[in-house]
Amino acid sequence: MTVEILAALVVIALGVVQVTLQAIEYRRVHGVPYANSAQDTPSPVADSPLLGRLTRALRNLHETLPFFLGVVIILALMQVSTPGTRTAAMTFAAARIVYLPLYALGVPYLRGLVWTISFGALISLLVAAFSAADWSVLG
């Protein structure tokens, strides 16, 4: 197993934690009966600020996770694992872990910085994959 694949596993586990936290808060705010319903009508209870932040943090992870997993899988298939790709993958995972409590607590500017670091790590992985690609297969 490469460090990059291990980082992907960590981020997937983080996603499961985020889904769990969001579901717990949803049930706390709206009640188990409503949460277990088809939710065809809006809840008479407004979301808590924490529920809103947990929901948005999860949606944010959903926006970048497919790209992270995709590039990590591509790097693994290409058998590319360098100090740079290992650092970038672990940086992405670490930043995503730090991002969740910052978002849940409503910390604005530091949260944005941490997101930028995670996105920069993702871009680094993508650049590494493009750099290592065998472009001769095109012609």
Residue 98 counted as domain residue: yes
Nearest to 102, CA basis, from 54, 49, 66, 134: 54
Q: Does residue 43 belong to any structural domain of this protein?
A: yes
Per residue in 64-111, pLDDT (tens digit) is: 999 999 999 999 999 999 999 999 999 999 999 999 999 999 999 999
Q: Of 84, 74, 77, which is closest to residue 129 (Cα–Cα)?
A: 74
Q: Has residue 100 been placed in a domain? A: yes
SS (H, E, C) 69-93: HHHHHHHHHCCCCCHHHHHHHHHHH
Confidence band (pLDDT; 50, 70, 90) for 139?
confident
Torsion of the alpha carbons at 7, 13, 15 and 17, rounded to the nearest 10: -140
In a domain, 62, yes or no: yes
pLDDT in tens, 18-74: 999 999 999 999 999 899 999 999 999 999 999 999 999 999 999 999 999 999 999
For 70, the domain range is: 3-134
CATH label of the domain that carries residue 58: 1.20.120.550
At 116 the pLDDT is: 98
Residue 139 lies in a domain: no
102 in a structural domain: yes
Structural domain contains residue 87: yes
Number of structural domains (the chain) is 1
